[in-house]
Structure 1
Amino acid sequence: MEPAEGSHLDALAYLECALGLLGSVLLKLVRSAYGRYASPRPACGVPARAAWALQELPSLAVPLWVCARTAAERLRHAPNRVLLAMFLVHYAQRSLIFPLLIRGGKPMPLYTCTLAFTFCVYNGYLQSRYLSQYAVYADDWVTDPRFLVGFCLWLVGMLINIHSDHILRNLRKPGETGYKIPRGGLFEYVTAANYFGEVVEWCGYALASWSIQGGAFAAFTFCILVSRAQQHHQWYLEKFEDYPKFRKIIIPFLL
């Protein structure tokens, strides 16, 4: 291991935070171009299932490649293995299972898919390289309150995310078209319950890892998903006159 690489990984983490802030600003200026906001016939679109699988897959494949090509010395320690497993479990579900569950779905613009793919390569490398080579934890870190609370938040957030996606997939009965107001679960309190789950998940991961790299990923996720949630919230208010006005955007009782 090169000592300077640890500093480089810190720099990449700070850059990820800056990219999150920049992305948040850009999303306020330019709407996301997929799903309900996509053109009916995008000039260069990728089928929804293929797009989600391809763009998320690097976050699973890159860490496996990073660990396979090096000694991955820090993975001899349980905290590092558990933290990397938390990251991989999310993206195994996101890249291998979630796309198969999509019902229909509009094609995703190629550039949107490419941006997501690039970020997943970047972040997949950052998290896995740090955990496999540089993150130093005491062997009893898995009993530390920060790890335990963080792990619980990660697990709860992932379950919220999966359950909320299930609700969204089942809004329409077979043969129905158009959009409906989501009901049930945390959708009774916020517009973007699925995004809330993901924010909680990665904040838990950041707490459990207690690292700049984990914190940067949580910060990036928060910046991007809050902006998308605001866009969704405004869309629902404009489209449905009976949309519940008491619902928050993404964080129950707060935002």
Structure 2
Amino acid sequence: MEPAERFLLDRLAYLQCAMSLLGFVLLRLWRSCYGRYVSPGSAFRVPARAAWALQELPSLAVPLWVCTVTAAERLHRAPNRILLAMFLVHYAQRSLIFPFLIRGGKPMPLYTFALAFMFCGYNGYLQSRYLSQYAVYADDWVTDPRFLVGFCLWLIGMLVNIHSDHILRNLRRPGETGYKIPRGGLFEYVTAANYFGEVVEWCGYGLASWSVQGGAFAFFTACILFTRAQQHHQWYLEKFEDYPKFRKIIIPFLF
């Protein structure tokens, strides 16, 4: 059973890479449908706070379920525990804290919500099952340069993501409406500073885990968020004549 499941987890990771490429192509052809891009007449929409909380929750709940009902033999090793904790900390913030900080927020189309919900369940199982049952690390892996650099990137990326979300939430003063150009932090250099932070975060996680599963998730994040960042960048350029032309899309000084 174990070799068969390990084989399955590897195939699920490769499938995630394929989904990344497919999503990249589709989102280049058709715009993402959420937030400011949702048509006012769209039916079957989920309130913003509920959508964000529920769609991200499987990435927290599924790993906790996996670790509770299975042997989770590898979690007695420090590297496995730390890596799984990195994953869970992010999604605890995204599902239990971030949604309740949203001010207003546009309802999300039901199909967008459903796709995100299914992906979070899929990825939550993939990452947690691999780390809790099959990932083998030496006891000194936490001192390996790949782990140390990856952990630092994960932490920096998460802090950038949280700070950038804070800037976006506070663009408008109470009672104000309409859109504004984000200022401060990495928004001085890129349009999608929040996405940049999340890409750095999961690339760090992928490096620290040094696994196909972690790498596949990092690749998926980069593919999907890069297309969304391009969409945001083009929207700002069309919306604001004074939008800083030197700002890159998502990666400072590059793209």
In 2, Cα distance between the equivalents of 1:80 and 1:2? Answer: 18
Query: What letter matches 1:96 in structure 2?
Result: L
Query: How does 1:192-231 map onto structure 2 within 5 Å?
Result: 192-231=192-231
Query: What letter matches 1:39 in structure 2?
Result: S
Structure 1 runs of 4+ aligned residues shifted over 6 Å read none
User: Where does residue 235 of structure 2 map in the other structure?
Assistant: 235
- Superposed displacement of residue 39, structure 1: 1.6
Q: How many residues align?
A: 255
User: Where does residue 102 of structure 1 map in the other structure?
Assistant: 102
What do the CA deviations read for 1:218-241 (whole angstroms, capped 9, x no partner)? Answer: 000000000000000000000000
User: What fraction of aligned residue pairs are identical, expressed as a percent?
Assistant: 86
Query: What letter matches 2:146 in structure 1?
Result: R
Query: How does 1:1-255 map onto structure 2 within 5 Å?
Result: 2-255=2-255
In 1, Cα distance between the equivalents of 2:122 and 2:213? Answer: 12
What do the CA deviations read for 1:163-204 (whole angstroms, capped 9, x no partner)? Answer: 000000000000111100000000000000000000000000
Query: What letter matches 1:137 in structure 2?
Result: Y
2:55 partner SS: helix
Query: TM-score normalized by structure 1?
Result: 0.99
- Superposed displacement of residue 3, structure 1: 1.2
- Superposed displacement of residue 41, structure 1: 4.1
- Superposed displacement of residue 141, structure 1: 0.4
In 1, Cα distance between the equivalents of 2:224 and 2:170? Answer: 25
In 1, Cα distance between the equivalents of 2:42 and 2:99? Answer: 20
Query: What letter matches 1:3 in structure 2?
Result: P
In 2, Cα distance between the equivalents of 1:75 and 1:115? Answer: 30
In 1, Cα distance between the equivalents of 2:101 and 2:40? Answer: 22
What do the CA deviations read for 1:130-163 (whole angstroms, capped 9, x no partner)? Answer: 0000000001100111000000000000000000
Query: TM-score normalized by structure 2?
Result: 0.99
2:97 partner SS: helix
Contact 1:203 1:215 in 2 (8 A): yes
5+ residue gaps, structure 1: none
Aligned CA-pair RMSD: 0.6
Contact 1:42 1:107 in 2 (8 A): no
